[in-house]
Structure 1
Amino acid sequence: MVHIALDPTPYHATHDFLDFFDVAAANGYEWIQLTPHPDWIPFFGHPRVDAALIAAVGKRAAAAGVRITSLLPVQRLSWPEEPLRQAAVRNLTRTIEIAAELEVPVINTEFSGRPERAEESEAGFYRSMETLIPVLKRHGVTLNIDPHPDDFVEDGLAAWQIIRGLDSRSVGFVYVASHTFHMGDRAETLIPMLGDRLGAVYCADSFDHHRSHGLRYITNPPGNAVRVHQHLAIGDGDVDWDQLFAALGASGFLDREGAILCSNVFGEDERADEVSVAQAERIRELLARHR
């Protein structure tokens, strides 16, 4: 059965880390994805985790009746500068160990390189994976990767080709719907290629920044090296949700045990409960329609 999970990022400013499990349960979720947090695994930093915190996480999750689908660290996995890339490998190694201790089989992450240094970043990525793949295998954890806007690879097909080049089933793909228009808007052709290497789909909407002849968003001066996208509630942007879920259904993703559908709306923190509940309902509706 596919797991519908909550990304608790909208609650970071209002709730303590260990309260996220209660928040997820209150909003109708049985699963949660643990994302970067100063009391957990911060952006680009070593995990702030000891045995006592791991035990507390397990206890609070069990008490709330919420299980952890995955961890989401963001580390400089493909960074072109060696000291920071090596630190990312150390940080991710520890994160894999934490996932194994929590019996969480999945880590979702990003390439985290630089587009202006794409060749060096790709080389850094493969160096990092030479170290990390044996660790993943040893602990029985799968690492899924998202081609994030402003990374050294943004196009979905190109990202899959890079992942495929590892020739390892320990590494898969994250399809982030709100990155659709940076990935090439190619759900119908990309998802069949990914097959069972697609491990997670993030459910948030975004506007197509290519529309209006590229003038939908204007930055000054023209030509700024920027990337624009949103994480909106389903239906508030331009993502074709029926097309996406039809492709997921046809590929078998929606019937796969352990597949993850994660709500990650970031733009409406002031009404996070309302949006979280609505997101769960919309995901379930799409799931029922296209399974």
Structure 2
Amino acid sequence: MKIALDPTPFHHSHGLMEFPRVAADLGYEWLQLTPHPDMIPFFNHPKADDDYVKAFSKACKDAGVGIASTLPVLRWSGPDEDAREAAVRYWKRVIRITAELGVDTIGTEFSGRPEKAEESERMFYRSMEEIVPLVEKEGIKIFIDPHPDDFVENGLAAWRVIRGINSKNFGMVYVASHTFHMQEAPLEIMRAAGDRIGIVHVSDTMDHNRSHGLRYISNPPGNAVRVHQHLKMGDGDVNFDEFFGGLKEIGFLDNPNSVVCSSVFAENENAAEVAKFQLETIKSYIAKQNS
């Protein structure tokens, strides 16, 4: 199992080539390559040429840090057809970059629209017609997160969509701070997806359903918003004993290819301290399950 750092909190203070050294200095052996304007930006074509990819790979080797996964976020579910076609083109380059980095794991999102769920699902499967053969050929595995405000947010429904791809190269990302938007009990989702959960993101969040739905208040009432946070562990309502217990039950913690990613975004001003806290706390939960 690989414990990785999501370097997003350091985007404002460090360049991409510095991220491997930042991760190493914080005690991490692995890095998640999340969207960045110099490599794979949100929703647009990757900006790294082959030389830049090689330079980043060298920076990782020099720091003694591996790349656990890449994380593109592209509109492969439309619902605009031009955007979907472009996203498929971008995905082809992402897959090539991932392979050139020597990485075989990609985490991503469905990236459709909830108000056009049926259209988004159709376009998602249309994109799979081109992407699945390429992914299987390259030996890469893609894990997908049902992100809040996506065309599928329910955890079990997301697993069914992934299962419908009919490829063992696709699985699920379980994001702890999306727990309360996935609607089903965490253990039910984990047991359903089983060993097809290949990546988990570890951060905390408040349960927006508590206090009669008034934990958060948005105005005017009835806004179509999805509120969640990426807090450090212990600052929200996620039951991490249950979370890590479920991962142990499905064999995730014993799989050398599994990726546990610390993804706290709420405290940039204390990013280094929070990253160290997350690493220590994740390790303590894992040790508790393995004792």
Deviation of 1:276 (Å): 0.2
Render the CA deviation track for 1:63-89: whole Å, top value 9, x for unaligned: 100000000010001111100011111
Matched position secondary structure for 2:189 = helix
Partner of 1:229: 228
Report SS of the residue matched to 1:107. strand
- Runs of 4+ in structure 1 deviating by more than 2 angstroms, as ranges, are none
Secondary structure class of the residue paired with 1:166:
coil
In the other structure, the counterpart of 2:142 is: 143
The residue aligned with 1:81 is 80
* AA of the residue aligned to 2:237: D
CA–CA distance in 2 between the matches of 1:37 and 1:252? 32
- In the alignment, the residues of structure 1 paired with residue 206 and residue 78 of structure 2 have an alpha-carbon distance, to the nearest angstrom, of 29
Counterpart for residue 56 of structure 2: 57
Whole-angstrom CA distance in 1 between matches of 2:175 and 2:11: 21
Q: What amino acid does structure 2 have at the position aligned with 1:172?
A: G
Secondary structure class of the residue paired with 1:43? coil
2:23 is matched with which residue? 24
Aligned partner of 2:203 in structure 1 is: 204
C-alpha distance in 2, partners of 1:38/1:250? Answer: 38
Q: Which residue number in structure 1 is paired with residue 108 of structure 2?
A: 109
What is the CA deviation profile of residues 255-287 of structure 1, one whole-angstrom value per residue up to 9, with x for unaligned ones? 001100000000000010000000000000011
Write out per-residue CA displacement over residues 222-275 of structure 1, whole angstroms, 9 at most, x where no aligned residue: 101100000000111000000010111011110001100000000000010000
Q: Shift of the alpha carbon at 1:185? A: 4.7
What is the distance in 2 between the residues matched to 1:211 and 1:290?
28
For 1:124 and 1:199, how far apart are their aligned partners in 2? 24
Equivalence for 1:282: 281
SS at match of 2:116: helix
1:123 corresponds to 2:108: no
1:117 match: secondary structure: helix
- Measure, in 1, the Cα distance between the counterparts of 2:213 and 2:185: 19
Higher mean displacement: 268-277 or 176-185:
176-185
CA distance, structure 2, for counterparts of residue 36 and residue 142 of structure 1:
18
Maintained 8 Å contact 2:156/2:184: no
In structure 2, C-alpha distance between the alignment counterparts of 1:187 and 1:255, rounded to whole Å? 19
Identity across the alignment (%):
56
Partner of 2:106, secondary structure, is strand
Query: C-alpha offsets along residues 115-170 of structure 1, whole Å, 9 cap, x if unaligned?
Result: 00000000010001111001101111111000000000001000001111111111
RMSD of aligned Cα (Å)? 0.7
Supply the distance in 2 between the matched residues of 1:164 and 1:17 (Cα, whole angstroms).
34
What is the CA–CA distance in structure 2 between the aligned matches of 1:244 and 1:169, rounded to whole Å?
Answer: 24
**Secondary structure of the corresponding residue to residue 168 of structure 1:** coil
With structure 2 as the length reference, what TM-score do the two structures score? 0.99
Deviation larger for 187-196 or 249-258? 187-196
Residue 20 of structure 1 aligns to a residue whose secondary structure is helix
Q: Which amino acid aligns with 1:287?
A: I
Query: Structure 2 CA distance, aligned partners of 1:185 and 1:25?
Result: 36
Residue 252 of structure 1 is matched in structure 2 by 251
Match of 1:179 in 2: 178
Kindly indicate whether the alpha-carbon contact (under 8 Å) linking 2:146 and 2:158 is maintained by their aligned counterparts in 1: yes
Q: Could you say which residue in structure 1 is the equivalent of 2:34?
A: 35
2:157 matched residue in structure 1:
158
Q: How many residues align structurally?
A: 290
The correspondence of residues 183-194 of structure 1 with structure 2, limited to 5 A, is 183-194=182-193
Q: Do the aligned residues in 1 keep the contact of 2:10 with 2:268 (CA within 8 Å)?
A: yes
Q: How far, CA to CA, are the matches of 1:63 and 1:191 in structure 2? A: 37
C-alpha separation between the residues in 2 aligned to 1:99 and 1:186? Answer: 33
In structure 2, distance between residues paired with 1:121 and 1:115: 8
SS in 1 for 2:232: coil
The aligned residue for residue 90 of structure 1 is 89
- The aligned amino acid for 1:260 is V
